[in-house]
Each structure stands twice: as C-alpha cells, then as structure tokens.
Amino acid sequence: MIAALLAAAAAWCVVPGSPRTRARRVLLPGSAPGGRRADPALVAALLAPVAGMVLLGPVVGLVVGGLVAPVVHRGVGRLESSASRRRSARVAADLPGALDLVVAALVVGRPPETAFALAADATDGPVGDDLALVAGRLAVAVDPDTVWLGVADDPGLAAVGRAFRRATASGMPVADVVRGVADELRRERVARLREHGQRVGVRTAAPLGLCFLPAFFLVGIVPTVVATFSSFSW
C-alpha cells in the first residue's frame, strides 16, 4: 500500500498536465516548464500518514499521521530556504530601478513588451530574468490581462501586474502608474530595512548584557566585596 501511494505521487509529479494547463504555462510567469510543480508543504503533509504507518502500524499510524498532517503542512509552508531569501532580497533591491527603466521606455512611446525587454537587458539577476519572461509572454499573449493575472502570486511583480490592469481599466497613463509602484516599492523596502534594524537591536540586547555581566561583576562587585572584608578586624 505504501509503495503504491509513493508510486502514485511520483507519477502525479512526472506526468504532464492537460494541454490547457501546458498552454497556460507559456503565458503565466513562474510556472514549471516540465511536469507538475509539487508543493513541498503538500508533499510533506501527504507523506505524514505514510511515515505514521511505517513507524506505528497501518491503523494507529494512519490516524496519527492524519492528525499531524495539517501541522506538518503549516510548518513546512513557513520554511524558506536561504537561496529564496537571497533572491527575495535581490528582487526587492533591484526591482524599483528596473521599473524606472520600464517607465522611461513607456514615456518615449515604446509598447510594454519592448519596455520590459529593454529593462531586462539592462538588469542583471533574477529581476532581469523575470522581466525578460514577462516581455516574451506579452509578445505572444493575445490578451495581456492573462499575463498580469499570472503574476498575481509573484511577490515581486504582483504590484506591477495590478498597476497595468488598473491603468487599462481607468485609462490612466501607464508610465505614471508604474512610477508610483516603483516609489511604493522603495518606501516598503526602506520600512523593512528599518524594522529589521530595530529587530536586530532588540535581539542583540540580551547577548550584549551577558557579555558585559562578567566584566561588571569583576570590576564593580568583586572590589567592593574585597574592600568590605578587608575593613574587618579579625
């Protein structure tokens, strides 16, 4: 039974999806190019009952694994790898400047796909790759809203997608809306850096106190005690 479950999970990850799903992967940024992209939290939650059956037996293990599965799903979902953190920090630092390049291209009359392609050529790292991906998909998409809806879950480009959709719906100049997004992203990054600095100060207060405590004891307490005992006449 366990082998069958593991084989079914492997087949689900390897077998490609429907033609409609594969077509959406061409237009939506962030989609896996090959088979289905397995969610690590979901996989860990599904494996919890399997591990329970292996360790505790089929009946008790299945019950315990079913109870533990939501906790495992929540815990694994909150984990973030160091590579993911570095990528998020790089995107937060580079995206406002890249959007300034997009705005400059839009102001001189370039279409969005060309503006994103030019900004991608001038930007290194993950932001340049994401902008190039968006530019390519805008060039082949029949409806640009499909691309903007596809970046709704992307932490870096979600605000850009909302800005383009908002500009299309309201008739506002796209360059002005994207410029506002770049300014907002800069303010958010400054606020995050300030909050991180304050958090570091709070976290280092206790270790610094422990480091200074022996010195305070030796310099302030020990001489006082020695002087007090020396003043006694025995």
Query: What do you get for the CA distance between the two ends of the chain, in Å?
Result: 84
In whole numbers, what is the pLDDT of the chain averaged over residues?
A: 76
| pLDDT for residue 104 | 92
Which range has highest mean pLDDT (10-24, 74-88, 175-189)?
Answer: 175-189
pLDDT above 70 (res 19): no
Residue 187: pLDDT over 80: yes
Q: What is the mean pLDDT of residues 71-95?
A: 76
pTM for the complete prediction?
0.58
Task: Indicate the SS3 state at residue 156.
Answer: coil
Does 18 have pLDDT greater than 60?
Answer: no
Higher-confidence residue of 194 and 38: namely 194
Is a pLDDT exceeding 80 seen at residue 43? no
Contacts 24+ apart (CB under 8 A), 177-182: 178/99, 178/102, 178/103, 178/106, 179/99, 179/100, 179/103, 181/99, 182/95, 182/96, 182/97, 182/99, 182/100, 182/103
When pLDDT is cut at 50, 70 and 90, the band that residue 7 belongs to is low
pLDDT-wise least confident of 107-121, 178-192, 199-213: 199-213
Average pLDDT over residues 216-221: 80
Written as six digits, the tokens of 134 are: 């968006």
